[in-house]
Amino acid sequence: MNRKTLSFSLIISLAIYAVLILGINSCVSGSKENAAKSEKTGAINNEQLEGSISISGAFALYPLANVWAEEFRKEYPNIRFNISGGGAGKGMADVLAGATDLGMFSRDIKQEEKDQGVWWVSVTKDAVIPTISDQNPVLEQLKKEGLTREQLASYFLKEEKQKWKNSAYEVSVFTRSDAAGAAATWAKYLGGAEQEDLKGIAVYGDPGLAEAVKKEPNALGFNNVIYAYDLKTGNKYPGLEVIPIDVNENGKIDPEEDFYDNIGDITTAIADGRYPSPPARELYLISKGEPTDPAVRAFLNWVLDKGQQFIEENGYILLSEKVINAQKQKL
């Protein structure tokens, strides 16, 4: 082999070696970047992610949280969930005590709760609506005229017994016995300061309150949307009716205020602002401090991304893209 051939072979060998070294460095660099990204976003290989996530709290978010858990496990089969209701107050207490990883929460977060280290992300939106029995003796009148915020406040915030307007029938007011975001939100809308300002017979839980209202013809209560309407039919649950709110206070329900017949109409009205806020409000997942557990972080990232596709079909309202992006920045 002559010198020219040897030199050319050497050059080719050195070039191949250089390419290999660059490729290896690129792979190492890419792996480090991907690892850093995974640590930031909570994105982990589906099979590698394992553990358990405990969640408690607001009845408002309970049905959707179970849907999210079921769908999340299709992608991450080694994750186990323990989800329980009990009201927003329980969700907050459990999180602060370290008893659960996440709390479901359905009212504004107070400054004293923030001072204790509560961290949160907004995940969806719903509303509290006034409910009555479908056997109410003045049902047709209420459907035509509705009740104003002031009239609702007089029923819920005053101690003395009152009658349905223009009738001799006495109103039986029902409220929540558990520390509930729905009750706190409803009280705030009516001009009260706390859930305790609401008068009436106290019943545990959203499902319990709905059942109590169904059974008493003169009952007046309040429920989260998902407990007033049947997802399968889109209609109100048998035995339950919803009182239209006379927002413009003109003594009648105008076409733009008439959106209570089915779950599609009411959720659209909440989304476009025709239904007032409050009692419409955002729903949260909370923890004590920013979560560090990989499984919890992966679940929260999934909820704010893929999980959003399950919101509307389950009777909830999507948050704006701007709000969702702001929540993603917290993780």
Residues of the chain where predicted confidence (pLDDT) is lower than 70: 1-45, 47
The CATH classification of domain 56-126+286-328, taken from the options 3.40.50.720, 3.30.390.50, 3.30.565.10, 3.40.190.10: 3.40.190.10
Question: pTM of the prediction?
Answer: 0.84
The pLDDT of residue 161: 87
The pLDDT of residue 44: 55
Ramachandran region, residue 86 (left: φ > 0; alpha: ψ -120 to 50; beta: rest): left
The pLDDT of residue 166: 83
Instruction: Check if 56-126+286-328 and 127-280 are the same fold.
Output: yes
Helix-strand-coil split of the chain, %, nearest 5 = 45, 20, 35
CA 16 – CA 129 distance, rounded (Å): 71
- Domain boundaries along the sequence of the chain: 56-126+286-328, 127-280
- Look at residues 190, 228, 189 and name the one whose alpha carbon lies nearest to residue 209: 228
Which homologous superfamily does the CATH classification assign to the domain defined by 127-280? Periplasmic binding protein-like II (3.40.190.10)
Quickly count: other Cβ atoms within 10 Å of residue 305's Cβ: 13
Q: What tens digit of pLDDT does each residue of 215-272 get?
A: 999 999 999 999 999 999 999 999 999 999 999 999 999 999 999 999 999 999 999 9
